[in-house]
């Protein structure tokens, strides 16, 4: 149309006006006009093949992205991810095609399309260390939402400061006179669980750790304050306690360590803290973007959790 070469169009299209390359303003205008009139858009595939990046960020979740049974626990993360992606002009590729093997999705499989994206964001309670290690090994840029242990090297992440937030709750309970405290939950396995327990153990040296969600066991410890790893477990325990004639929080206090990951029906707001999910999603994308541009300001970030006063923690009974 304009009598110039494909190379020239490419140069104009990408606004290359470096010292190395120059295009006469008149030519540039002519090409731009043709581009505008035809609505020509460079093929993103070919562009990526040639230049190694395409402003697409992969989003890999170990569960469904749009969860049904998870009570939308992941939703706020995705809101943050989308907002930041939109802000920096990136599209999101949801890796929904990853097949489920042994009850969990696999990043690496026969036909994975991870490499289609410039980098990717990983979401899920627990990420397979072997897959993380391979990601690191292949040098594929990625950021985990949620802290992860090293996997043959430091894993870039944006996590929540569970230890700090949990410890703060323990301190608060102690200030209210609680002396005997119980941690109910795994306290291990996924980093988010381990971190909660770490915070608890650090602040409540004599605290008790119970793995089963069992009111009798809890009561037998003589504890006056219960820290539940899972919100939903707290809801169940409170119901049990009240069925047994205990008043909450007068007789027994409860602290929920984070937001519900399973749907939990209750009209009572638990004392505890809120995970900055949206912010985590946002910053994960931001960090990924920095990594892609080669100058990340620290590849591991912990964000503070916002305390929730709630109504399930009171002065310890005399």
Partner DNA sequence: AGGCTTTACTAATACGCATTAGGGAGCGTT
Partner DNA sequence: AACGCTCCCTAATGCGTATTAGTAAAGCCT
DSSP H/E element including 79: helix 75-87
Q: Strands, DSSP E only, in the chain?
A: 56-61, 91-94, 100-101, 104-105, 119-123, 142-145, 157-160, 181-184, 208-210, 225-228, 253-256, 271-274, 300-303, 306-308
Q: Kindly list the residues in this chain that would bind its own copies in the complex (CB under 8 A).
A: 39, 41-46, 48-49, 54-56, 64-66, 68, 75, 78-79, 82-83, 85-86, 89-97, 99, 108, 110-113, 115-116, 134
Exactly one of 1, 15, 23, 172 binds DNA (CB under 7 A); that residue is 23
Quick one: which of 22, 87, 171, 262 contacts DNA (CB under 7 A)?
22
- Is position 110 an interface residue for DNA (rule: CB under 7 A)? no
Partner that binds at residue 3, options DNA, its own copies, none, CB closer than 5 to 8 Å by kind: DNA
CB of 294 to DNA, least distance (A): 14
Q: Least Å distance between CB 133 and its own copies?
A: 12
Q: Which is nearer to DNA, 52 or 297 (CB)?
A: 52
Distance CA 58, CA 113 (A): 9
Taking alpha carbons only, the member of 257, 265, 262 closest to residue 308 is: 257
- 123 close to 66: Cβ distance less than 8 angstroms: no
Q: What share of the chain is helix, strand, coil (3-state, %, to 5)?
A: 35, 15, 45
Q: Rule CB under 7 A: which of 36-95 touch DNA?
A: 41-43, 46-47, 49-51
Nearer to its own copies, 54 or 271 (CB): 54
Residue 16 contacts DNA per CB under 7 A? yes
Contacts with DNA, residue ranges (CB under 7 A): 3-8, 10-11, 13-14, 16, 20-24, 26-28, 41-43, 46-47, 49-51
């Amino acid at each position: 149309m304009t009598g110039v070469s494909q190379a020239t169009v490419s140069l104009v299209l990408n606004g290359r006006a470096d010292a190395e390359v120059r295009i006469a303003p008149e030519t540039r205008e002519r090409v731009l006009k043709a581009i505008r009139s035809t609505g020509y858009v460079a093929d993103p595939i070919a562009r990526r093949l040639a230049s190694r990046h395409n402003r697409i960020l992969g989003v890999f979740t170990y569960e469904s992205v749009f969860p049904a049974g998870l009570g939308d626990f992941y939703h706020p993360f995705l809101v943050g991810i989308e907002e930041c992606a939109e802000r920096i002009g990136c599209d999101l590729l949801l890796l929904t095609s990853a097949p489920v093997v042994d009850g969990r999705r696999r990043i690496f499989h026969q036909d994975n399309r991870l490499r289609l994206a410039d980098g990717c964001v990983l979401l899920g309670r627990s990420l397979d260390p072997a897959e993380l290690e391979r990601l690191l090994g292949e040098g594929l840029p990625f950021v985990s939402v949620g802290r992860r242990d090293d996997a043959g090297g430091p894993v870039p992440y944006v996590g929540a400061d569970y230890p700090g937030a949990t410890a703060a709750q323990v301190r608060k309970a102690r200030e209210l006179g609680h002396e005997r405290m119980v941690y109910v939950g795994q306290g291990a396995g996924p980093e988010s669980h381990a971190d909660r327990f770490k915070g608890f153990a650090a602040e409540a040296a004599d605290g008790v750790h119970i793995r089963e969600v069992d009111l009798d066991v809890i009561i037998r410890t003589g504890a006056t304050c219960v820290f539940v790893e899972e919100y939903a477990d707290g809801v169940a325990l409170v119901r049990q306690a009240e069925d047994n004639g205990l008043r909450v929080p007068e007789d027994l206090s409860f602290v929920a360590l984070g937001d519900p990951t399973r749907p939990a029906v209750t009209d009572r707001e638990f004392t505890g803290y809120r995970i900055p999910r949206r912010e985590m999603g946002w910053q994960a994308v931001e960090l990924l973007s920095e990594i892609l541009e080669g100058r990340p300001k620290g590849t591991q970030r912990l964000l503070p959790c916002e305390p929730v006063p709630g109504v399930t923690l009171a002065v310890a009974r005399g």
